[in-house]
Amino acid sequence: MALLEIKNMNISVDAGGMEKRLVQDVSFEVSEGEILGLVGSSGSGKSLTSMAIARILSDDYKVTFEEALFMEKRLDLMSEKELCDIRGKEIAYVFQEPMTSLNPVVTIGKQAEEPLILHFGKTITKEERRKTVIDALKDAGLDDPEGLLDTYPHRLSGGQRQRVMIAMAMITKPKLLVADEITTALDVDTRNRVIDLLKHYRETYGVSIIFISHDRKLVDNLADRVITISNGKILENAGLSDDDMPSPTTEKGRTRQKRAGGLDKPVPEPVLTVKDMSFSYKDKNIFGKTEITPVLKNVNLTLFKGETLGIVGKSGSGKSTLVKVICGLQTADKGEVTIKEGYEDPQMVFQDPYSSLNPAKTIGKILKESLILGLKRKGIKPSDYTRTKSYGQAVMEMLKNVGLSSEIAFRRVRELSGGQRQRIAIATALISEPKIVILDEPVSAIDADLCDQVLELLSSLREKFGLSYIFISHDPEVINRTCDRVMVIEDGETRERKK
Amino acid sequence: MRYVGKKLIALLVTLAAISFVTFFAFTIIPGDAATNIMGMDATEEEIEALREAMGLNDNIFVRYGRWLLGVLRFDLGTSLQYSIGVSELIGGRLKATAGLAFESLLIILVLAVPLGLLSALKPNGALDNCITTLTQVGMAVPQFFLGIMLTYVLGVLLHVFRMGGYVSPGDNFGAYISFLFVPAITVAVPKLSMMTKYLRDCIVAEKRKDYVRTAKAKGNDAARVLSHHILKNALIPSLTFFAMIVADVFAGSIVCEQVFSIPGVGRLLIASISNRDFPVVSAIVLYTAALVVVTNTLADILYRAVDPRVN
């Protein structure tokens, strides 16, 4: 007997009077204790599908079913009140964004016990509630659950927050857990542990899980059965074929092959060197005494012309500080940063393109501004520049270079997709024609499909403009695919890693 | 705790700076108190003698020091115009201003939160549009006009409000409260409109955040999502805004006090400026500045207490 049976689900939005279909005739079922994998690229409609099950989509979306059966009850015919009784009790959700999915001003304890208050009310005492919360947090693999109760979310790491989210979802022992890209924002270690956790819940409590991800390999490893969604439709036969998604292994092979068959290596020419550089944060306490927190210790690195140098390290290892010193945003205590003539003014591409671009300005304006600032830093007169080409031309050319159409110039950041935003972030860095570009986690906020495209773009831009990259990431797979050499930074010290 | 200490030190430094600027500003504007007291007919010698006696001929720093010492001992000098102690004078006027301020703040507090919530319930819905239009009007209407209209409708047409009937709280506290209610509405309307609009925008922005989706998925109904999750987040930025309103209403409303003939700080300020009553003007300026700085400091400290992320 199926626990959940969805027949012909349709989701549409009203796009200026026209009805736009986002999900079409999707049908699937989940048995008791089953883990169903739902794969698809970004924008395929898999998240919408999952959120439509317990009907938690906002009113902007119109959802219709032929039938939606859950525990032999019609979800599609339920009133909002009846649905509230099912949400969080029988069907629980965990979402992709652990950093923002918790209420920032409510303690972990209060948030975790809320499903119990909502669904069991006065039938359990305060002490029982507390005990249940502590057990659930412990069950989710969190250390010191008592201490967490009065802690606010911002004190926790992404992995910890995701565990809190999972503990919170599992606290009522639901029949169905919907896990929507819950591992995407996590590093590899944490990812594996979260997967183990899901397996543990299924074995211990017999919970059915809908596991949604763009990562085919991950889903194959966890799920009993896999369905693929593409453009809002379920692909037939999807459980068997791998064609619709390039697997990471082949991609890696392809990139390597390309590089090996590429240019003959000339004698490497250093363009940026960091020598015996140390940096520490100095903070004066109230007594005027200086407290020194060393961040970087005798760091040495060299970036050669045309190469991509990877820097890996855990969060807090000093990666960002190193970058700031190289860009001149922080001054080192000791040691020096030398940049070869003609290679000055390195530019940065940031991790989160949405918040690093001004939402009020059009893309064209943003690019133009970066260009003008770049000219100013180099001491080039605007009139000298515009003699060869106008700002508008420069902006259009740059958009073309990053693979975007010129009409994007008139749009604003919020109107762009994640991939387009990341391309714009790259364009803003490149428009002032730097020779060295520092990429700070440029693909960690986007999914695998887009990640491949962006990496490809970066590699082609490097060839085209003769750039050198410093590529920062926590993801070893991405680093291995893109970098010629890798530096590991640990506790403020660097060492080169042999590939 | 360390933060509070730092804030308090910053507060004192700001106040010291303000007091000096205030004092200095009054010494460079032409005309002085001695000329004013003696009138047009006095001879140059008589005025000079009074100047000497009042200490107006001393070095500016000496005079500032003397004045500051007085301020620290809560002795703000004597009003030149009324010949009574400045503290006493302002203290009396403050009774009217404070009553007006408290009542208008109460109106703002009681109405802004529910109106903001109602407005944000369904953004761009009929109710939202209606409230938004009202707040636009509320912000745009000049205070003197609103005061006059209220007086006309409530006083002349409906006879529920006695014009010019200010009563000192010592004489009849009930009458004092009830008289100030209409002026309080006049003061509150534009600020209430701004506060409602601001709160509405904050709530609408919060509604799109991920934690709201989590709250919904847990089984909260729409009302509880709003009251238990969104509201606290939306109120945090509104706190700073409210602090500005508090400082503003306690500084006294010149227009409103004039329209309703309320003997408050605002009217005293106008009268003292035109009479070059330096001790009173400087005391009011200092009071207003201190009010702004103190409420902002309190808001900052409160902000840290309610928002765990600020650290």
Judge whether B306 lies within some domain: no
Ramachandran area for residue A338 (φ above 0: left; ψ -120 to 50: alpha; else beta):
beta
Bridge partners, A294 (sequence order):
A280
Q: Give the one of A95, A119, A154 whose C-beta lies nearest to B219's C-beta.
A: A119
On chain B, the residues whose CB falls within 8 A of the CB of A81 are 221
pLDDT of residue A359: 80
Binding-face residues of B in 88-127 toward A, CB within 8 A: none
B239 located within any domain: yes
Contact B214/A54, CB-based, under 8 Å? no
Q: What is the pLDDT of residue A284?
A: 65
Of the residues A93, A114, A283, the best mutation for testing chain B's interface (the one with the most B CB atoms within 10 Å of its CB) is A114
Residue in chain B lying closest to A57 (CA): B213
What residues pair up with A273 in beta bridges, in sequence order?
A: A302, A338
DSSP assignment string, B25-37: HHHHSS--HHHHH
Residues 222-241 of B with CB under 8 A from A: 222, 224, 228-229, 232-233, 236
- What torsion, rounded to 10 degrees, do the Cα atoms A94, A100, A102, A103 define? -150
The architecture that CATH gives domain A2-245 is 3-Layer(aba) Sandwich (3.40)
Q: Which residues of B touch A119 (CB under 8 A)?
A: 219
Taking residues B200-223, what's their average pLDDT?
Answer: 92
* Substitution target from B1, B208, B214 for chain A, most A beta carbons within 10 A: B214
Asked if residue B210 lies in contact with residue B228, where contact means CB atoms within 8 angstroms, the answer is no
**pLDDT at site A254:** 38
- Cβ–Cβ contact B209 with A under 8 A: yes
Q: Give the count of domains, chain B.
A: 1
Q: Which of B274, B302, B218, B271 is nearest to B89 (CA)?
A: B271
User: Which of A61, A103, A151 to mutate to test binding with chain B, by most B CBs within 10 Å of its CB?
Assistant: A103
- DSSP code string of B240-251: HHHHHHHHHHHT
Domain assignment present for B154: yes
Please report where in the chains the tokens 């010290």 appear, as a residue.
Answer: A493
Instruction: Name the residue of chain B whose CA is nearest to A111's CA.
Output: B215
Confirm or reject contact between B2 and chain A (CB < 8 A): yes
Instruction: Note whether A88 contacts B213, CB cutoff 8 Å.
Output: no
Chain B residues lying within 8 Å of A93, measured CB to CB: 214, 217
CA–CA min distance A51, chain B (Å)? 9
Cβ–Cβ below 8 Å for A88 and B219? yes
Q: Cβ–Cβ of A104/B233 closer than 8 Å? A: yes
Q: Which two tokens stand for residue A287?
A: 């007594």
Q: Specify the DSSP element, H or E, that contains A25.
A: strand A18-31
**Cβ contact (<8 Å) for B211 and A87?**
no
Q: What's chain B's Rg over C-alpha atoms?
A: 24
With CB atoms and an 8 Å threshold, state whether A87 touches B217: yes
Q: From A177, which residue of chain B is nearest by alpha-carbon distance? A: B217
| Nearest beta carbon to residue A95 from set B5, B214, B219 | B214
Q: Which helix (H) or strand (E) holds B121?
A: helix B86-121
Among candidate residues A342, A359, A351, the one with its CA nearest the CA of residue A436: A342
Residue ranges of domains in chain A: 2-245, 253-497
Surface-to-core class of residue A7, CB atoms within 10 Å of its CB (0-12 exposed, 13-18 middle, 19+ buried): middle
Residue B144 belongs to a domain with what CATH number?
1.10.3720.10
Is A118 part of the contact surface with chain B (CB cutoff 8 Å)? yes
Q: Which residues of chain B make contact with A104, given a CB cutoff of 8 A? A: 211, 233, 307-309
- CA dist A469 and A439 (Å) reads 7
Name every residue whose Cβ is closer than 8 Å to that of residue B128 and which is 6 or more positions away in sequence: B118, B119, B120, B121, B122, B200
Residue A100 touches partner B, C-beta closer than 8 Å: yes
CATH topology (fold) of A253-497: Rossmann fold (3.40.50)
Answer yes or no: do A100 and B5 touch at CB < 8 A. Answer: no
In a domain, residue B240? The reply is yes
For residue A188, give how far its alpha carbon lies from the nearest alpha carbon of chain B (Å).
Answer: 23
How far does the CA of residue B126 sit from the closest CA of chain A (Å)?
Answer: 16
The yes-or-no verdict on residue B211 having pLDDT over 90 is yes
pLDDT for B213: 92
Closest by CA position to B24, among listed B269, B285, B248, B252: B285
Q: What residues pair up with A304 in beta bridges, in sequence order?
A: A270
Tell me if B156 is assigned to some domain: yes
Q: Do the Cβ atoms of A279 and A326 come closer than 8 Å?
A: no
Q: Is A402 helix (H, G, I), strand (E, B) or coil?
A: coil
Whether ipTM exceeds 0.90: no
Q: Give me the sign of the Cα torsion angle B275, B280, B283, B289.
A: negative
The answer to whether position B256 is within a domain reads yes
Q: What does DSSP assign to residue A57?
A: S
Chain A: give the shortest CA distance to residue B210, in Å: 5
Query: Is the separation of the CB atoms in A279 and A332 below 8 Å?
Result: yes
Chain B environment of A95 (Cβ under 8 Å): 210, 213-214, 217
CB-closest option in A87, A105, A106 to B219: A87
**Please, where are the H alpha helices in A306-403?**
319-327, 353-356, 363-378, 382-388, 391-401
Cβ pair A187, A159 in contact under 8 A: yes
Residue numbers in B near A167 (CB within 8 A) = none
Torsion of CA B279, B284, B285, B287, to 10 degrees: 120
In the block, tokens 């010698």 appear at B45
Give the model's pLDDT for residue B134: 95
* Average pLDDT, rounded, for chain B: 86
Q: What is the count of residue pairs from A and B with beta carbons less than 8 Å apart?
A: 79
**Residue with structure tokens 């591409």?**
A349
* Cβ–Cβ under 8 Å, residues B225 and B215: yes
Residue tagged 């809320």 (tokens): A114
Is A154 touching B (CB cutoff 8 A)? yes
The answer to whether the beta carbons of residues A272 and A337 sit under 8 Å apart is yes
Q: Which residues of B touch A165 (CB under 8 A)?
A: 214
Burial A404-414 (b: 16+ CB within 10 A, else e): beeebbeeebe
Q: What is the DSSP letter of A265?
A: P
Task: Compute the Cα dihedral for A140, B210, B194, B189 and give only its sign.
Answer: negative
Domain limits for position B123? 90-264
Task: Tell me the two tokens of residue B92.
Answer: 């009396």
* E strand or H helix that includes residue A473: strand A468-473
CB contact (8 A) between residue A154 and residue B215: no
Average of pLDDT values for B76-90? 83
> What's residue A243's pLDDT?
40
Q: What is the pLDDT along chain A (499 residues), one digit of tens a residue?
A: 689 999 999 999 887 778 888 899 999 999 999 999 999 877 788 889 999 999 998 888 899 999 999 998 999 899 999 999 999 999 999 998 877 899 999 999 999 999 999 999 889 999 999 999 999 999 888 889 999 999 999 888 888 888 999 999 999 999 999 999 888 777 777 788 889 999 999 999 999 999 998 888 889 889 999 999 988 888 854 443 344 433 334 443 334 333 433 344 456 788 888 888 888 877 766 666 777 778 888 888 888 888 888 888 776 677 878 888 888 778 888 888 888 888 888 888 877 666 777 888 888 898 998 888 888 888 888 888 888 788 888 888 888 888 888 888 888 887 777 778 888 888 988 898 888 999 988 887 677 777 878 888 888 888 888 899 999 887 777 888 888 888 888 777 777 775 5
Distance (Å, rounded) from C-alpha B125 to C-alpha B64? 59
Return the minimum-mean-pLDDT range out of A395-409, A459-473, B60-74, B239-253: B60-74
Q: Pick from B3, B4, B9, B218 the residue to mutate for testing the A interface (most A CBs within 10 Å).
A: B218
Of A87, A97, A105, the CB nearest to B218: A87
Q: Higher confidence at residue B67 or residue B38?
A: B67
Which alpha helices (DSSP H) does B122-172 contain, by range? 126-140, 143-150
Identify whether B192 is part of a domain. Answer: yes
Q: Of the candidates A104, A118, A286, which has its C-beta nearest B219's C-beta?
A: A118
The identity of residue B93, as a single letter, is: R
Instruction: Name every chain B residue with its beta carbon within 8 A of the beta carbon of A161.
Output: none
Best of A105, A116, A168 to mutate (most B CBs within 10 Å, chain B): A105
Q: Which two tokens stand for residue A227?
A: 């369905």
Q: For B309, list phi and psi in degrees, rounded to 5.
A: -75, -25
Q: Dihedral of the CA atoms A357, A484, A479, A317 (nearest 10)?
A: -80
The residue with greater pLDDT, B165 or B144, is B144
- Please answer yes or no on whether A103 and B233 come within 8 Å at the CB atom: yes
Instruction: Provide the CA A99 distance to its chain's centre, in angstroms.
Output: 11
Distance CA A50, CA A115 (A): 20
Query: Do B219 and A85 lie within an 8 Å CB cutoff?
Result: yes
- pLDDT digit string (tens) for B24-58? 887 777 666 667 666 667 777 777 787 777 777 77
